[in-house]
Amino acid sequence: MNGEKIALLLVSVVAVGVFALPSTISLFAGQHTWYKLNGSNDLGGQLPCEKCHADVANEMGALVGPHTNELGYGRLECEFCHRTFELTDDQINETHYGKYRYTYGQVGPNVTDVTPGKEAHAASTVPCMYCHSGNKTGPVPLINGVGHGGVKYCSCHGTADTGKHDDWRDLYYHGDRFYTGTSNDDPGEACLKCHGTGYGPANAPMYIPPAGGFGLTANNKSDTGELAAHKTFVMDAISNPDMEDANEACIACHTHIPVKINWTHRYSLEFNCTPEFELSPTHFNVTDWSFNGTYNITVYGWRNGTGNTSEGGWPGSYP
């Protein structure tokens, strides 16, 4: 009798497995294959950020502009803005932004070239000013009197011109992050996406333009920002903990993000006018400048760059 019960139990288990196991297997299909972390010039490996962040990729592919193929070499890669890298020689305001230089997890061309992450594993939020706080602008000058000649690789930063290099890092720039290329058939695409080529004297690449006018660029005494109408806006954004550094201000002004601002304005301007009797009767001295009261108004900034004082269809859409 017990044997019959065991046999019946086994048949029941098999029957349940016929229906349950295919669903379980299909639910986790692909879980035992991994994306490569090496094997290409991109030290980010083959991890597809777009897999989870398709909405961001769609936005960046919608328009051609800053960071999105304006130089003709494709949009910036995710890690350009979300993994800091080495900047030196007045390319960065070290006092303000050196603290954002992190160590991320990274694998070189060989599986033994492993750098474990420290402050961040794969990505972090980076200040816009990390790249835009240098003090150089325009074309990169000639090197030893030799022009760039429109080449699409940056071998001057490695030893590729000789065909030799002692370490794989010789062909990477900004630390060991961006592949510089060895020929026009093997270009340093990362260099081109940020710096371009074919601009200025001798088809030189370009420096990343600094966001001057707030007193935040590197070693630039003329950048005082003392007359900047939006300096308080930027400084208050730096003090705000919600985003890194001044990113709230950068994003509010430079992107299609909608804004809603609750303004408190002065209500009226008041002053006294008294005649100057020694001059013509149309001459008045103006004194005691002041304001009287305040009033509040809400402004809705639309994605397309227009604004209104009524909500309407806010936030609207961008082009």
pTM beyond 0.75: the answer is yes
User: Cα(310)–Cα(304) distance, rounded to whole angstroms?
Assistant: 16
At residue 38, φ and ψ (nearest 5 deg) are -150, -170
* Out of 23-32, 147-156, 158-167, 295-304, least confident range: 158-167
pLDDT in tens, 282-315: 788 899 999 999 999 999 999 999 999 999 889 9
Strand partners, 285: 274
The better pLDDT of the pair 11, 69 is held by: 69
What pLDDT score was predicted for residue 161? 47
* Contact assessment for residue 143 and residue 161, using Cβ atoms and an 8 Å cutoff: no
pLDDT in tens, 129-141: 999 999 888 887 7
178: left (phi over 0), alpha (psi -120 to 50) or beta: beta
User: Cα(248)–Cα(235) distance, rounded to whole angstroms?
Assistant: 10
Confidence of residue 160 (pLDDT cuts 50, 70, 90): very low
User: Cα(163)–Cα(298) distance, rounded to whole angstroms?
Assistant: 63
Tokens of 304: 């397309």
What pLDDT score was predicted for residue 187? 78
Look at residue 125 and tell me whether its pLDDT is greater than 90.
yes
Confidence of residue 178 (pLDDT cuts 50, 70, 90): confident
Tokens of 128: 């816009």
What pLDDT score was predicted for residue 238? 97
Look at residue 177 and tell me whether its pLDDT is greater than 50.
yes
* Out of 19-28, 112-121, 308-317, least confident range: 19-28
Confidence of residue 72 (pLDDT cuts 50, 70, 90): confident
Taking residue 108's Cβ as centre, other Cβ atoms within 10 Å add up to 17
